[in-house]
Amino acid sequence: MLVVMAAGATAEQIAAVCAEISAMGFVAHPMPGPTRTAIGITGNRGPIEQAERIARMPAVAELIRVTAPYKLVSREFREAATVVRVAGVPIGGPTVTIIGGPCTVESREQTLAVAHSVAAAGATILRGGAFKPRTSPYAFHGLGETGLQILAEARAATGLPIVTEVLDTETLPLVAEYADMLQIGARNMQNYSLLRAIGRSNKPVLLKRSFAATVQDLLLAAEYLLDAGNTQVVLCERGIRSFDDSSRFTLDLGAVPIIKQLSHLPVIVDPSHASGRWEQVVPMARAAIAAGADGLIVEVHDNPAFAVCDGRQSLVPERFEVMMAQIRRVAAALDRDLTPQP
């Protein structure tokens, strides 16, 4: 349920409503808006019997029943779009944010070279995996802490904040020491203990949609993060599994406007993993921005033929630069600019 306070409600009146909600055994989430404050209620299993008591409190304008199973991520709870800040770089809001970098950190030279090229092309966040979830147990699983140190060096050299994946609760403290943004991969989207642990951290989160998850599953996974206290969450559409094997996954671009309607959280698109081949990546990147995505996460490699992981879908730096120029124009058609570099 959502308690909408009257426009002139005082801090004391808002606090009194929150206290009443707590006294009923529920959790109050005050959300100040431009004109008035709304207070979300979670923790109730069904309709709140004592709702009338809240409705009669001073400065309460209205009670709204939230019908979606997810609450804190829903537009019903918070109308204004959330802007997530990754070491000062915004995702969501009026600008379009591009994250670029290698699938995985292979070496210092490779990571620094790619980091410099994506920065020069206008990306504002650097990606790179140090802990890699791989389908095969025999594949390369990342450089671990050495990879995180290389990413930190690339951040120092370029000024770009870094996003990197966390595989489990065990390595979360280590990854959080280095990362500006924690990535939850498609394979971990429904790892609820990991979601809760990352929800308790204060780092921005990039939550990727599982390739077998509905939009509602994704929003409920995000709800775990917000319920645990972390409101800095960006959602990512990265392709779902379909019957068609002409691309690695099937990019569900229709999900972008739907998620924007259902949730206030920013949404970005990963055209690289969705496609699995570089030829599809730039057209899908253009389409994603045209569909209203708040940004992209794109894999780039300076020598894709020799990439340890996902070379087939990686753009060479020159192609990434072409993509950036085209994205700028698509964004401009929607009155959006690319996010300026930090």
The interface partner of residue 29, options being ligand PEP, Mn ion, none and the CB cut-off 5 to 8 Å by kind, is none
Residue 128 interacting entry, from Mn ion, ligand PEP, none, C-beta within 5 to 8 Å by type: none
Q: Which of 103, 130, 207, 225 binds ligand PEP (CB under 6 A)?
A: 103
Report in angstroms how near the CB of residue 104 gets to ligand PEP at its nearest: 7
Residue 248 binds to ligand PEP (criterion: CB under 6 A): no
Query: If phi over 0 gives left and psi between -120 and 50 gives alpha, with beta otherwise, what is residue 200?
Result: alpha
Q: Is 264 in the site for ligand PEP (CB under 6 A)?
A: no
Residue nearer to Mn ion on the CB measure, 239 or 295: 239
Residue that is written with structure tokens 């996954």 in the block:
249
The reply on whether position 194 binds ligand PEP by CB under 6 A is no
Of the residues 185, 199, 204, 271, which one makes contact with ligand PEP according to CB under 6 A: 185
The rounded distance, in Å, linking the Cα atoms of 190 and 209 is 9
d(CA 233, CA 270): 16
Question: Using CA atoms, how far apart are residues 26 and 11, in angstroms rounded to an integer?
Answer: 20
CB nearer to ligand PEP: give 238 or 264.
238
For the chain, what's the residue count?
342
In the block, residue with structure tokens 């009155």: 335
**Residue showing the smallest CB distance to ligand PEP in the complex:** 185
The secondary element (H helix, E strand) that includes residue 208 is strand 205-208
Q: Can you give the binding site for Mn ion, defined by CB under 5 A?
A: 103, 310
Using rule CB under 6 A, residue 208 touches ligand PEP? yes
- Closest residue by Cα to residue 271 from 241, 247, 302, 292: 247
Nearest approach, Cβ of 55 to Mn ion (angstroms)? 51
Rounded-to-integer distance, Cα 245 and Cα 229, Å:
39
Return the H-helix or E-strand segment holding 198. helix 192-199
In this structure, is the dihedral angle defined by the CA atoms of residues 148, 151, 153 and 156, taken in order, positive or negative? Answer: negative
148 binds ligand PEP (CB under 6 A): no
CA distances, 195 to each of 52, 53, 55, 73, 177 (Å) = 34, 34, 34, 14, 18
With a CB cutoff of 8 Å and minimum separation 6, the contacts of 252 are 209, 237, 239, 240
Closest separation between CB of residue 33 and ligand PEP, Å?
33
Environment class of residue 78 by beta-carbon count within 10 Å: exposed (0-12), middle (13-18) or buried (19+)?
buried
Least distance in angstroms from the C-beta of 14 to ligand PEP? 40
Minimum distance, C-beta of residue 239 to Mn ion, in the bound complex (Å): 12
Judged by CB under 6 A, the residue of 29, 71, 78, 238 near ligand PEP is: 238
Tokens of 275: 């496609």
* Binding partner of residue 30 among Mn ion, ligand PEP, none, CB cut-off 5 to 8 Å per kind: none
Residue 129 interacts with ligand PEP (CB under 6 A)?
Answer: yes
Region near ligand PEP per CB under 6 A, out of 25-33, 81-89, 179-187, 219-227: 179-187
* Smallest distance, ligand PEP to C-beta of residue 26, A: 34
Binding site for ligand PEP (CB under 6 A): 103, 129, 133, 165, 185-187, 208, 238, 270, 273
